[in-house]
Amino acid sequence: MHAELGLPLGVLFGFLTVLARVSGALAFVPLPGLASAPNTVRAVLALSLTVALAPLWPDVTPAQLAPGRMLVLLASEAALGITIGLAVAFLLETLLFAAQVFGVQTGYSYASTVNPNTDADSSVLLVFAQLMSGMFFFALGLDREVLRVFAASLRLYPPGTFLLKASAAAAVIDLGANMLSTGVRMALPVVALLTLVDIALALLGRMHQQLQLLSLAFPVKMLTTLAFLAALAALFLPVYRGAAERTMAALFRLF
């Protein structure tokens, strides 16, 4: 006799609800290389994360299996995943915003390379900040924290019970404001130093008008930026860790 493998319909739809929640988050999290990866890779990543949460899969009742009810349930799960994804995306964009603030003054905006996420031309500093942000994300173990958030959300919000409230929207907006303020804090020392360099070159050009300092301005500012960023590299991680702690605390308060 041949054995038949049976899968209860409630378990199958429980898997689909968790998959919708995870996929909604991955749609907004700009992990390095994920956007340009083949669709198969992204699908396997979503499936792997869903399988990792298998002990917390809900058992969907037969009353929830009606087509209209199931569509509403999946939309609710996707909304919850998008909320988590936006919060994590704001955290990952912190360093990118800082690089955008001082990127023009440094002169590196003229040197472009291929962005691994979008395959478009981006400034060197922007791509470097993007890769560093991804490195910080995994070095601080935030990928595990995101899985803990998903597990907590499955306990607190079973499928179909999550509603996007004003408190959740306000929490995500606060995280966006935190991203802007943290990025400005990271960029201000570089901007202040480059402003002093501009003033020094302007005064030197005023005293010695025969000197052609315009050709020296870009190399001086680019080398100064590299040296200053190397000196500040050890300070970026604590600032990023503080922003990550605020993000995770907000998510755990929400769920």
pLDDT by residue for the chain (255 residues), tens only, comes to 455 555 666 677 778 778 888 887 777 776 655 666 667 777 888 888 888 877 777 776 655 566 667 777 777 777 788 888 888 888 888 888 888 888 777 766 665 555 555 555 567 777 788 888 888 888 888 888 888 887 788 778 776 677 777 777 788 888 888 888 888 888 888 888 888 887 887 777 777 666 666 667 777 777 888 888 888 878 888 888 988 888 888 888 876
189 beta partners: none
pLDDT of residue 1: 47
pLDDT of residue 51: 83
113 beta partners: 122
112 beta partners: 123
pLDDT of residue 6: 55
How far is it, in rounded angstroms, from Cα 29 to Cα 222? Answer: 31
Q: DSSP string spanning 132-149?
A: HHHHHHHHTTHHHHHHHH
pLDDT of residue 211: 65
CA distance from start to end of the chain: 48
Model pTM greater than 0.75?
Answer: no
pLDDT of residue 165: 74
Nearest CA-CA partner of 61 in 51, 75, 73, 50: 73
How far is it, in rounded angstroms, from Cα 214 to Cα 159? Answer: 63
Q: Which helix (H) or strand (E) element contains residue 168?
A: helix 166-207
